[in-house]
Amino acid sequence: MERRRSTLFARGVKGFASYGRDSGFSDSEPRLCGTSGKLVKAGAARYDIFDRPLNLVGQSFCLARQEWPPHQTIQETATVMNRLPPLIAMLVVAVATVTARTDDKQPDAVFPSFRVQEIANDLKVGYAVLLVDINGDGKKDIVVVDTNRIVWYENPSWKCRTIIQGMTKPDNVCIAAYDIDGDGHLDLAVGADWKPFNTKEGGTLQWLKRGKSIDAPWTMYPIGEEPTVHRIRFADVLGEGKSQLINVPLMGRESTAKANWVDGRPVRIQAFKIPKDPTKDKWEPVTINEDLHVIHNFIPVPAADGKHTDVLTASYEGVNRLSLTDGKWVRQHIGEGNQANPKGNRGASEIKQGKLKNGKKYIATIEPWHGNQVVVYTEPKEPSQKMWDRHVIDEQLKWGHGVWTADLDGDGDEALIIGVRDNLSDKAGEKRGVRIYKCTDSIGAKWARKIIEEGGVAVEDLAAADLDGDGKIDIVAVGRATGNVRIYWNEGVKK
Ligand SMILES: [Ca+2]
Ligand SMILES: [Ca+2]
Ligand SMILES: [Ca+2]
Ligand SMILES: [Ca+2]
């Protein structure tokens, strides 16, 4: 089928500083530079090209979006809104609606449109993003974990504030929010000292408490240490009535690359109990599992009994469910994972659970570890069937690194949102970025795809929440190689 392509043309833009492969154009020529360094002459530019425009604060320029087919040009306006030190400006694209390719498999599926806004491009590595209300005004803010700092962007100005800089051992790698000391203000737990292949030492856990005012310095308190600390989340898996900090390192202690990280000890998953005085007392860890290898991510989910919280893990072994049953932690293998390469990257890496409007659940993963497949597991058809059914829904990607589920169009089915870190190729449909998938059957086996970010963010992490309170869930992605933070504003399904 014919594919739709969208291109932005910039006109009347003067003085864009050039960088990357941009020789052959004079400074006075209207032009834009691409995040990949690819320059597009005379204003012919993709929607995701905006990067590092200098000295353009307050300038507006015209964008014309051309859709093909049909040959239709839409006039839009963009303004450079802000300037960040040093000389890195934020460009707010006012109305640059992303017109992504409609998927070739399901051409009739209807998707919402998204408007892109880049709020920062000065990250070293955007390791993690969290959408929580830091200042307690009812609007979710954007918290980003960078290599040696943690920052938050205030909704709706997206003013950047530093929470900590240089207080942890680099790199910071993961974050979770919870009112740890019960004072009514959100606190942040942070995993740092990220050294993925040092399985003997390092890996720090600490928490951060804000000062009296939101601009006062935050104070840091230690929690514990575990080599290769990689993913943390708060959940009440022990049934205490308040959450514990669940820590899932990437590798087991003493495991080695030579043995493909399956020697030494398996990965130790621990729940750290919040002590009575978390600023002084020790956080006691409870081990909830220690028999899996290379656990790249996990997600707490409601248990079948409706009372407890289970943990779903994505590891070399595929998908496993950990449940507290009669006082004991029980592991159930429910998803096979990609086991094509038993001596290399295998299993699953990212994981989230979603649900459909008929109540059916699904589990979405990236497979194998740092893999090239988007996989959906659907609930067993027979009660006697232990393993969930595995469906590969996309293989046109390299290094998937972000999974989220959210009802983006309000029809009751939670869509799948996938972040891709690397380009599989330079071809349309195979670049890094953000993709959304809409379920087209009643169980979650068939999905239609739409690409909402093609090339502009080397997605390390993403998250979704309604940031502007219009009832439509928006998406935020943070980049590694691209070093940027972008919001994708959900503009709903165009009638
Ligand atoms: Ca807020
Ligand atoms: Ca607090
Ligand atoms: Ca939906
Ligand atoms: Ca919204």
How is residue 275 annotated by DSSP?
P
**pLDDT tens over the chain, length 495 residues:** 333 333 344 433 333 332 222 222 223 333 333 322 233 333 333 333 333 333 344 444 444 433 333 344 444 444 434 333 222 223 333 333 333 334 444 557 899 999 999 999 999 999 999 999 999 999 999 999 999 999 999 999 999 999 999 999 999 999 999 999 999 999 999 999 999 999 999 999 999 999 999 999 999 999 999 999 999 999 999 999 999 999 999 999 999 999 999 999 999 999 999 999 999 999 999 999 999 999 999 999 999 888 899 999 999 999 999 999 999 999 999 999 999 999 999 999 999 999 999 999 999 999 999 999 999 999 999 989 999 999 999 999 999 999 999 999 999 999 999 999 999 999 999 999 999 999 999 999 999 999 999 999 999 999 999 999 999 999 999 999 999 999 999 999 987
Ligand nearest 416 Cα, by number? 3
Nearest alpha-carbon partner for 438 in 178, 107, 195, 131: 107
Ligand nearest 357 Cα, by number? 3
pTM: 0.80
Instruction: For residue 366, report the distance from its CA to the centre of ligand 4, in Å.
Output: 26
Pairing of strands 415-422, 398-406: antiparallel
| DSSP output for 372-397 | SEEEEEE--SSTT--SPEEEEEE-S-
Instruction: For residue 244, report the distance from its CA to the centre of ligand 2, in Å.
Output: 14
Instruction: For residue 177, report the distance from its CA to the centre of ligand 2, in Å.
Output: 10
Q: How many H helices and E strands in the chain?
A: 0, 36
> Is the Cα torsion angle 433, 438, 444, 445 positive or negative in sign?
negative
Instruction: For residue 137, report the distance from its CA to the centre of ligand 1, in Å.
Output: 5
Q: According to the 3-state scheme, what is the secondary structure of 35-84? A: CCCEEEHHHEECCCCCCCCCCCCCCEEEEEEEEECCCEEEEEEEEEEEEE
Instruction: For residue 356, report the distance from its CA to the centre of ligand 3, in Å.
Output: 8
Q: According to the 3-state scheme, what is the secondary structure of the chain? A: CCCCEEEEEEECCCCCCCCCECCCCCCCCCCEECCCCEEEHHHEECCCCCCCCCCCCCCEEEEEEEEECCCEEEEEEEEEEEEECCCEEEEECCCCEECCCECCCCCCCCCCCEEEEEEECCCCCCCEEEEECCCCCCCCEEEEEECCEEEEEECCCCEEEEEEECCCCCCCCEEEEECCCCCCCCEEEEEECCCCCCCCCCCEEEEEECCCCCCCCCEEEEEEECCCEEEEEEECCCCCCCCEEEEEECCCCCCCCCCCCCCCCCEEEEEECCCCCCCCCCCCEEEEEEEECCCCEEEEEECCCCCCEEEEEEECCEEEEEEEECCEEEEEEEECCECCCCCCCCECCCEEEEECCCCCEEEEEEECCCCCEEEEEECCCCCCCCCCEEEEEECCCEEEEEEEEECCCCCCCCEEEEEEEECCCCCCCCCCEEEEEEECCCCCCCEEEEEEEECCCCEEEEEEECCCCCCCCEEEEEECCCCCEEEEEECCCCC
Ligand nearest 448 Cα, by number? 3
Instruction: For residue 213, report the distance from its CA to the centre of ligand 1, in Å.
Output: 14
Task: Check: CB of residue 201 under 8 Å from CB of residue 192.
Answer: no
Ligand nearest 179 Cα, by number? 2
Instruction: For residue 276, report the distance from its CA to the centre of ligand 2, in Å.
Output: 13
d(CA 474, CA 156): 13
Looking up tokens 């980049």 gives 479
Instruction: For residue 219, report the distance from its CA to the centre of ligand 2, in Å.
Output: 11
